[in-house]
Structure 1
């Protein structure tokens, strides 16, 4: 079973996760201050403050990075080069492959592409592998 750990502030990532779990049946775990990743999985987060990683995501990753296979981020294309930049920063800071970036709550095409990436490129992949950096 695939586990996704996610952080959502404005509801965009939550809506993405709701659609994703309805289609796939994958297990989604909303990040809280004290969440410990019991199972290995993937991270989906958001970008804040024009390209920054959310503090809640940083805290989660500091405690759980060894259990995370890949990172995906939502963002807003209006931010130009800062679009989804949280994923780039998490990838670099925690040596985790960047899987995907999507705008706001994502389209059905985004969800299908994300499913394909997770199923075919990184389900069970080894942490630190850079073969995923296709975003």
Structure 2
């Protein structure tokens, strides 16, 4: 399963590196990349002005048709604002919110997220 992610401070990128799974990072300078395969999106929590490049990526060509779900990182101290970017994307693109973690994730988060990914992968005979 392909992971697509956006990172601002590097926290999300550190989480992705711990997963050791195929991943593509959305580049703010050029978010217009066509993915052409099912993916899970992982995003940090920031105001829309910062994360607008994620929407640019999703709206590019047929990318959003391959979006299976979204995971979000954030800081639980923000209470109801925790992972609001991921929640907004899940609502706006009508996909499930699959996972939430704090900062760059714990080892338990890594294992739990890998389980979520494996459950979404197509079964091979």
Which bracket does the TM-score occupy, shorter chain normalised?
Answer: 0.7 to 0.9
Q: After TM superposition, what 4+ stretches of structure 1 lie above 4 angstroms from structure 2?
A: none
Structure 2 length as normaliser, TM-score?
0.86
Residue equivalent to 2:99: 100
- Deviation readout 1:66-122 (Å, 9 max, x if unpaired): 1111100101111111001111111110011110010010001001111111112x2
Residue equivalent to 1:61: 58
Residue 52 of structure 1 deviates from its aligned partner by: 8.1
Structure 2's unaligned 5+ residue stretches are: none
8 Å CA contact 1:52, 1:86 repeated in 2? no
Q: What is the rounded CA distance, in whole Å, between the counterparts of 1:35 and 1:14 in structure 2?
A: 18
Structure 1 length as normaliser, TM-score?
0.80
Residue equivalent to 1:15: 14
Structure 1's unaligned 5+ residue stretches are: 125-135
- Deviation readout 1:15-44 (Å, 9 max, x if unpaired): 0001111xxxx2110112222112211111
Q: In angstroms, what is the RMSD of aligned CA positions?
A: 1.7
Q: Which moved more, 1:100-109 or 1:27-36?
A: 27-36
Q: What is the rounded CA distance, in whole Å, between the counterparts of 1:39 and 1:53 in structure 2?
A: 25
Alignment of 1:42-53 (within 5 A): 42-49=40-47
